[in-house]
Amino acid sequence: MKPLNLENLSISSLKESYKNKGLIPQEVINFLIARVESLEPRLKAFAHFDKEKILKELKENNIPSGKALCGIPVTVKDNICVKDELTTCSSKILEGFVPPYNATVVERLKSAGAVLFGKTNMDEFAFGSSCETSYFGPTRNPWDIARVPGGSSGGSAAAVAASETVAALGTDTGGSIRQPASFCGVVGLKPTYGRVSRYGLIAFASSLDQIGPITQNVTDAALLMNVIAGHDEMDSTSVDLPVPDYTKALTKDIKGMKLGVPREYFTEGITPEVNEAIKKSINLFKDLGASVKEISLPHTDYAVSVYYIVATAEASSNLARFDGVQYGHRTKSLEQGEGDSLVKMYSRTRAEGFGAEAKRRIILGTYVLSSGYYDAYYLRALKVRALIKKDFEEAFKECDCIVTPTSPTVAFKLGEKLENPLSMYLSDIYTISANLAGIPAMSIPCGLTQENLPVGLQILAKPFDEESIFRLAYTYEQNNNW
């Protein structure tokens, strides 16, 4: 087998190599399988990885030549349904669940010639910001295995960062693509809500969830978006709008672009090294011809509170279906005659199947939706959500994109925040607002700390204007020399 240059293990470089007959998909798959087997005992980026199945499908199926992702390995997060493959949301409650159908994004990957390459680990049901709440145990950050990769798409980000895969799909409910992308030094995009079909995604919070790419570079993110974006009749929240060719936005010219920098994102809590890296990035944008002005997003301080009311309320409703009746884990004690009622079966199954963070969010969500508290919490949160969305609408009247840190800190140590849920929740403080407003946002690497840990830069744009994000991110990527 020919040695591969890991620095060039990207969608764009592999497409070129395949075209020039320098490599064939079999060589790449064999290489990646060997790499996964070598690294997984330490990283645990995958929840399910069946190399025999991958090799069998590669041998039996003719990869469509000339397709957008012909022979490209793409890994999928464990909450996205893949037909005849374990999909468990990294939770015991879905132990053994094998979907009978593919998610729309999976169908589109396969139609484009991609090779599905395992399912990545995640926080249970996407509940977390560190990938530590998984039933299969925590994923570790490839830059420092004593640290978290971020969450909930930590497995996807870690797998891409460690070159265990070429690209991956994650999901983003409050920053779950962008924050791990920041912590792992890769590119992560949360598309506009409705731009990518959610059919086949096991829901956390239906009004917030969105599937998006995690890749080595901005070009790869554009190539993946060209495949997965677009209207889907199977998803009632999918928006019927034309999908542009995102690769055409990959220009190195941002002259005349207007960028906004919200003052609320540079207050107490941001570490000096993150602050310095973001300020350097902003100065680079200025040098490249963009104009930069300070703006205000006045309701930013309420975003975390609003998010954890709305998200937990929707989660408690969505997770009510997991009761041991139709699929997944069912308590064995009742099967052995120790229980005598359906209610006991429900309660014991859910007590055994859900982890601590899932139970916490179900209880909180049920509480805010309960009689007497709905108006005081949930309804009020929806009103403030509308104000947060209006903040962005007003801001985009003045600027094309908004530039912020992705996270106030770099990757923290494993276990550092696990016993302090509030501290964990605050790690998403800069990413949550984009989900509440339904706008697109991307995290790109913008520097390293003295401890050699990546810093992420976040770029936000108005709804369905991913092209502006790609233009700005690509220009930055091509000119940044950190």
Query: Does the annotation count 176 as an active-site position?
Result: yes
Tell me which residue has tokens 């009247």.
397
Query: Does the annotation count 190 as an active-site position?
Result: no
Burial 137-172 (b: 16+ CB within 10 A, else e): ebbbbbbbeebbbbbbbbbbbbbbbbbbbbbbbbbb
Q: Are 341 and 393 in contact (CB under 8 A)?
A: no
Q: Are 403 and 281 in contact (CB under 8 A)?
A: yes
Pair of tokens at residue 268 = 């107490």
454-461 and 187-190 beta bridge pairing: unpaired
Distances (CA, A) of 229 to 179, 339, 352: 21, 48, 37
From 10, 17, 90, 152, the catalytic residue? 152
Question: If we measure between CA atoms, which residue out of 88, 8, 475, 450 comes closest to residue 251?
Answer: 475
Distances (CA, A) of 17 to 29, 74, 117, 165, 359: 14, 17, 19, 16, 48
From 44, 77, 110, 119, the catalytic residue? 77
Pair of tokens at residue 430 = 């800069």
Query: Does the annotation count 65 as an active-site position?
Result: no
Residue 287 burial by Cβ neighbours in a 10 Å radius (0-12, 13-18, 19+): exposed
Instruction: Say what the alpha-carbon torsion angle 198, 203, 204, 205 is, to the nearest 10 degrees.
Output: 60
| Count, residues in the chain | 482
Q: Which amino acid is residue 68, in one-letter code?
A: A
Give the C-alpha separation, 426 to 412, whole Å. 13
Q: Are 288 and 282 in contact (CB under 8 A)?
A: no
Distances (CA, A) of 31 to 25, 36, 74, 317, 359: 10, 9, 14, 43, 40
Give the C-alpha separation, 294 to 280, whole Å. 15
From 13, 90, 134, 176, the catalytic residue? 176
Pair of tokens at residue 90 = 């990294």
390 CB-near residues (< 8 Å, 6+ apart): none
Catalytic residues: 77, 152, 176
